[in-house]
Amino acid sequence: MLEHRPTHDDLIDHLVRSTALQRGEAARVVLDVLAYFDETTEEFVRRRHRELQSGGAVNAEIFERIAGELPHRAVAPPELSLRQLRRIVYG
């Protein structure tokens, strides 16, 4: 059975008309944005922790920053305590 996957042609067409992107580039941008917003809260917390840690930040500031970023996600998760954020990363 074939899996039905939306193509988002209307959005891709809009990006091609309103930007300098070629159709293939616009399609890739759409897929990247959809993948970004498809990320679960746990995946987001782990990814941001790795990114901030690789940039030299220490855990105390990392978890404060992540806690501040979460409410601004497209679909904001319930508020998580710093302890809950640490448990997502470290189990």
CA distance 66 to 79: 11
Contacts of 43 (CB under 8 A, 6+ apart): none
For the chain, state the CA radius of gyration: 17
pTM listed for this prediction: 0.65
Distances (CA, A) of 68 to 7, 59, 64, 65: 33, 14, 6, 5
Encode the chain (91 residues) as per-residue pLDDT tens digits: 455 556 799 999 999 999 999 999 999 999 998 888 888 999 999 999 999 999 999 999 999 999 999 998 877 788 999 999 999 999 8
